[in-house]
C-alpha cells in the first residue's frame, strides 16, 4: 500500500513514481525468511506477546557473547531513547551530545527537563570527542555517541572511542547508538561489545529497522550491565514489543547471507555516488551507512527540486541526507542532482 502522503505528492507534481530516500530504510526489503516465519509461525493474536522476548534474548546472547540479563528490548530505538531518558534524567541533570546527530536524544532530554549540551561536529562531520569530554561535569548523566552518526554517516574509530571511554567519569553513562552497525565496513570500527566488559558506565544500542529491513516491526535492543538493565526495566511497558516483531527478528538473524548481500550492494551504490560527487565537485561526508550527507547552502532548494522530480530526501540545516537506494534509482537521482550542482 502506498502511503497517502506519497500519493498526494505524486498527484501534486504529476509524477508516476516517487522514490523514498528520506528515512534510511533498507531498499532491498527484508530476508525472505521473515515472510515465511510470519506466515507459518505459531502466532496467536488473542494472546499477549512474550514480555521478556525470551527466545530472541537467548538467540542474541548466543550470537553476541553476552549474558541474557544484559538485554532490554524496545519498540525501535526511539522507544529505547525514551525509556533511558525517562528512567535516568531529571531537571538537575545534563546530557552531552554531538550536533548534528539523532534528534531524539535532544527531544527526550527536553521532555525530562534536563540541560542539553550540544557540541558541534568537527569540519569533517565527526563527533568532536575532546570538546564533548570538556563539556562533562558532575551533573552529566548521559553522553550520547551515535556511531556511525546520523545524519552525517561518519564514525568514531576504535582508538578514539577507547581513549574517550577511559576519560569519562564512572558516574556518567556513555550510550553508543549503533543503529547502522550492520552497514559498516571500516576495519577500525570499535568492537563495543568487548568494551562493555571493561566499562560499567556504557550501553550499546542496536536495531532491526535498518539493515535487517524490519522497520515496520519496530524492534530494537540495548546491551549493558545487568544493574542498568534492571533500572530501565522499571519504565518499560510490559508488552512493548509484538509477537510478530520478535518472530521477525529471530527469522532475520538466521539469514546471514541476506545481510552480507545488502552490505555489498550498499557499498557498490555508495561508490557510484561518491565517484559522481567527486567528479562534479559536490561536497559530502564519507559514509559508513546506507545514506550519504551532501553539504549545500540551499538544503531546502535541493530537497524541493528532488521532490518535484520524484525523489524524497531529508533536508538539514547545512545539507541534505540521501538514503542509498537501488542502483537504477540512484542513477536517476544523480541526473537530477546534476541539474542543481553543475
Q: Which of 204, 205, 140 is nearest to 167 (CA)?
A: 140
Do 44 and 243 touch, CB atoms closer than 8 A?
yes
- The pLDDT, as a whole number, for residue 1 is 44
| Cα–Cα distance list, 306 to 150, 327, 339, 341 (Å) | 21, 17, 10, 12
Grid cell of 336 as nine digits: 537530477
| Domain final residue pick, 198, 223, 254 | 254
Q: How many CB atoms lie within 10 A of CB 157?
A: 14
* Residue 261 and residue 125 share a domain: no
Would residue 46 count as lying in a domain? no
- Any bridge partners for residue 143, and if so which? 96, 174
Would residue 143 count as lying in a domain? yes
- In which residue are the cell numbers 530505538 written? 77
| Domain final residue pick, 200, 224, 254 | 254
| CATH code of residue 246 | 3.40.640.10
| Cα 273 off chain centre by | 21
The secondary structure of 122-185 as a DSSP string is -TTS---HHHHHHT--TTEEEEEEESS-TTT-----HHHHHHHHHHS-TTSEEEEE-TTGGG--
| Cα 60 off chain centre by | 18
Three-state secondary-structure class, residue 97: strand
* Residue 132 and residue 71 share a domain: yes
* Residue 277 and residue 183 share a domain: no
- The pLDDT, as a whole number, for residue 6 is 53
- The pLDDT, as a whole number, for residue 312 is 98
Secondary structure letter of residue 200 according to DSSP: S
| CATH code of residue 308 | 3.90.1150.10
Note down the domain range covering 295.
4-21+257-341
Would residue 35 count as lying in a domain? no
Cα–Cα distance measured from residue 154 to residue 123, given in angstroms and rounded to the nearest whole number: 11
pLDDT in tens, the chain (342 residues): 455 455 555 555 567 789 999 999 999 999 999 999 988 776 678 889 999 999 999 999 999 999 999 999 999 999 999 999 999 999 999 999 999 999 999 999 999 999 999 999 999 999 999 999 999 999 999 999 999 999 999 999 999 999 999 999 999 999 999 999 999 999 999 999 999 999 999 999 999 999 999 999 999 999 999 999 999 999 999 999 999 999 999 999 999 999 999 999 999 999 999 999 999 999 999 999 999 999 999 999 999 999 999 999 999 999 999 999 999 999 999 999 999 987
Number of domains in the chain: 2
The secondary structure of 63-87 as a DSSP string is HHT--GGGEEEESHHHHHHHHHHHH
- Total-model pTM: 0.94
Phi-psi region of 57 (alpha: psi -120 to 50; beta: other; left: phi over 0): alpha
Amino acid at each position: 500500500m502506498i502511503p497517502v502522503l506519497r500519493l498526494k505528492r505524486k498527484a501534486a507534481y504529476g509524477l508516476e513514481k516517487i522514490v523514498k530516500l528520506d528515512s534510511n530504510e533498507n531498499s532491498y526489503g527484508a530476508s525472505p525468511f521473515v515472510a515465511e516465519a510470519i506466515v507459518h509461525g505459531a502466532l496467536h493474536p488473542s494472546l499477549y506477546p512474550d514480555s521478556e522476548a525470551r527466545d530472541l534474548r537467548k538467540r542474541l546472547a548466543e550470537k553476541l557473547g553476552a549474558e541474557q540479563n544484559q538485554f532490554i528490548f524496545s519498540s525501535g530505538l526511539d522507544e529505547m531513547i525514551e525509556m533511558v531518558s525517562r528512567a535516568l534524567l531529571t531537571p538537575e541533570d545534563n546530557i552531552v551530545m554531538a550536533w548534528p546527530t539523532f534528534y531524539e536524544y535532544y527531544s527526550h532530554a527536553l521532555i525530562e527537563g534536563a540541560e542539553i549540551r550540544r557540541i558541534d561536529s568537527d569540519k569533517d562531520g565527526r563527533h568532536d570527542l575532546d570538546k564533548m569530554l570538556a563539556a562533562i561535569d558532575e551533573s552529566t548523566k548521559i553522553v550520547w555517541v551515535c556511531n556511525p552518526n546520523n545524519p552525517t554517516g561518519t564514525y568514531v574509530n576504535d582508538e578514539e572511542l577507547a581513549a574517550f571511554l577511559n576519560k569519562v567519569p564512572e558516574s556518567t553513562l556513555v550510550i553508543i547508538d549503533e543503529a547502522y552497525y550492520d552497514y559498516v565496513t571500516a576495519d577500525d570500527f570499535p568492537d563495543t561489545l568487548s568494551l562493555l566488559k571493561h566499562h560499567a558506565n556504557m550501553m550499546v544500542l542496536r536495531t532491526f529497522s535498518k539493515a535487517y529491513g524490519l522497520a515496520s516491526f519496530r524492534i530494537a535492543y540495548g546491551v549493558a550491565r545487568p544493574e542498568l538493565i534492571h533500572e530501565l526495566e522499571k519504565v518499560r511497558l510490559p508488552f512493548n514489543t509484538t509477537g510478530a516483531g520478535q518472530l521477525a527478528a529471530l527469522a532475520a538473524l538466521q539469514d546471514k547471507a541476506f545481510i552480507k548481500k545488502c552490505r555489498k550492494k550498499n557499498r557498490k551504490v555508495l561508490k557510484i555516488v561518491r565517484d559522481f560527487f567527486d567528479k562534479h565537485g559536490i561536497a559530502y561526508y564519507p559514509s559508513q551507512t546506507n545514506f550519504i550527507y551532501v553539504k549545500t547552502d540551499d538544503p531546502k532548494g535541493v530537497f524541493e527540486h528532488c521532490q518535484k522530480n520524484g525523489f524524497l530526501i531529508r533536508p538539514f540545516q547545512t545539507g541534505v541526507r540521501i538514503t542509498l537506494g537501488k542502483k537504477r534509482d540512484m542513477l536517476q537521482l544523480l541526473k537530477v542532482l546534476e541539474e542543481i550542482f553543475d
